[in-house]
Amino acid sequence: MKNFFTQIPIVAPTPTPFKDDEVDYQKLSSNIEKWLTTSISGFVLGSHGGEEFHLSNEEKKIIIDTVVQTNNKNRVIIGGIETPSPKVALNLIDDYANRGVDYVRIRIPQRDRKGDKFSEGVVDYFEKILKDSVLPVIVIHQPRTSLDPDVTAEDLGLISQLDRVVAYIISLNFRWETIVPKVLSEDVYLWTCNGSLLFPGASIGATGACLFFGNWAPEKCREIIRLTIDGNYLEAIKLQETLISADYIGMTRGVAALKYGLNLLGYEATVPRSPTKPLSFSDQDLIKKSFIRASILK
């Protein structure tokens, strides 16, 4: 576990390929084999990038089994969990563990905007899960809006001290997240979350990343963090700037852009599942140009 986290891990949400709107497990397996030829550190299953809300529970299980089998313990596999119920989360953790998943990534539950307390129940939620979890936990913060966090810094600090919490993934609210390194347990790793926040994230202490850009160019993501850690800030900023255009298109166009970019790189990512629309022709051209600018595509 320690070795994985000290190698500047770059993990990414794994997209789900479809054929005639049905999950294409053969293409998924082929994509995993291709990623295994890159420097990507691991696969995150059950995430927005994998179109989790467009998949049935049975499809999610087969996806996990397919990736575990194809991966053959070469890279880390992380199972995504989003539920306000500790009981449901623990059931999922047990199932993931039985299927060969290595870690779980749990989203901080979105707080009740009508409640009086800012983050009521968040620490209790993680205490109940960590008490019985058979897998180490990576905590991720993804509030509804980037300027409206679902947890206080103080509560996040308490969560980070719970046994088996191994990493925390920051949100897009970078201004708020700058306080996190001051409250985070020294035993918990800090990861950044976005292709445009690789340098800023590393500048406040991030030593890894969980981001869809990792599907496209894991080594470039890792290099920005490495350069920043080594103090080569000008080089890190220069490399960071080349990724911003591609990352912006990806963040604003979502999974359609993620998949189209992968198709350009030789993967069989196909298109999103209905009702999500494929990327428009004009946006396809933007992705191509941004990839060339980033030296991801010749």
Per-residue pLDDT of the chain (298 residues; tens, 9 = 90+): 447 888 899 999 999 999 999 999 999 999 999 999 999 999 999 888 788 889 999 999 999 999 999 999 999 999 999 999 999 999 999 999 999 999 999 999 887 655 544 445 899 999 999 999 999 999 999 887 666 788 999 999 999 999 999 999 999 999 999 999 999 999 999 999 999 999 999 999 999 999 999 999 999 999 999 999 999 999 999 999 999 999 999 999 999 999 999 999 999 999 999 999 999 999 999 999 999 999 999 8
Terminal C-alpha separation, the chain: 36
**pLDDT for the residue numbered 112:** 64
CA gap 215, 13 in Å, rounded: 8
**pLDDT for the residue numbered 272:** 94
CA gap 69, 128 in Å, rounded: 31
Q: What is the pTM for the complete model shown? A: 0.94
- Residue holding tokens 């999610």? 60
Which string of DSSP letters, residue by residue, matches the chain? -HHHHTT--EEEEPPPPEETTEE-HHHHHHHHHHHTTTT--EEEESSGGGTGGGS-HHHHHHHHHHHHHHHTTSSEEEEEE--S-HHHHHHHHHHHHHHT--EEEEEPPPP-TTSSSSSTTHHHHHHHHHHH-SS-EEEE---SSTTS-SS-HHHHHHHHTSTTEEEEE--S-HHHHTTHHHHS-TTSEEEE--GGGHHHHHHTT--EEE-THHHH-HHHHHHHHHHHHTT-HHHHHHHHHHHHHHHHHHHHHTHHHHHHHHHHTT-----PPTTSPPPPHHHHHHHHHHHHHTTS--
**pLDDT for the residue numbered 50:** 80
As beta bridge partners, residue 106 has 81, 139
Quickly name the fold that domain 2-232 has: TIM Barrel (3.20.20)
**pLDDT for the residue numbered 116:** 47
**pLDDT for the residue numbered 113:** 57
**pLDDT for the residue numbered 89:** 96
